[in-house]
Chain A
């Protein structure tokens, strides 16, 4: 069964550093998403991406965050200057239609020290 792949599984970084979280969505999917889950809290929507542009973003997704689809397979989330409060599990998801099921990756645990 096709799956969403995220790398790395765990990323440790120093406060103020830039990080890039990588995702390989399911190959025929057109809609891509990032969510995050701070420890002990709910999964929160960050951003959705379609046709090479952001289609929606939450108030969490400020200027420190950016997304990119640099080639036909990868979908990345960049945090420009990490803060302690960015420590969380980040999930990538993809779907073939906006109203269809979102398939999630296993997540990247980001630890900001």
Chain B
């Protein structure tokens, strides 16, 4: 069955430190891949997406993600975390190359930022 795994439930990093949030997916073909962020009381905001082409994609707020087909991974990175990045981060997959509308989400990783 198609699935998305975010192995880290909760991560704490110091402000200014680098960040990597892991995401692995289980799907035969290359799906469309997304990272969303949810701040308390807010909806899901798209950080970045991968459809095809360059495997390193840039997003908003200084985030980037790298698609690695061999590892079925789409990890999210940021070189220097800001306190305002504290939120919950969701990796999502659109199977069928997006021709199938529904998104499959991981369980999310909650990010805490220490001053």
Contacts and interface: CB of A to CB of B under 8 A. Distances in A.
B46 A42 contact: no
A45 B103 contact: yes
A102 B49 CA distance: 11
Contact of B49 (A41, A55, A101, A103): A101
Interface in A19-54: 31, 33, 35, 41-45, 48, 50
A74 B99 CA distance: 24
What's the interface size class on A, roughly?
20 to 34
B84 to A, nearest CB: 18
B94 A43 contact: no
A44 B92 CA distance: 11
Interface in A40-94: 41-45, 48, 50, 55-56, 58, 91, 93
Contact of B90 (A33, A43, A103, A105): A43
Interface residues of B, number: 26
B62 interface: no
A59 to B, nearest CB: 12
B105 A48 contact: no
Contacts, number: 61
A55 B102 CA distance: 10
B108 A42 contact: yes
A42 B94 contact: no
Contacts of A31: 101
A56 B98 contact: no
A104 B101 contact: no
A91 B102 CA distance: 13
Contacts of B42: 106
A106 to B, nearest CB: 4
Interface of A: 4, 6, 31, 33, 35, 41-45, 48, 50, 55-56, 58, 91, 93, 95, 98-107
The 8 closest A-B pairs by CB, nearest first: A99-B98, A45-B102, A104-B44, A43-B105, A106-B43, A104-B43, A48-B101, A42-B107
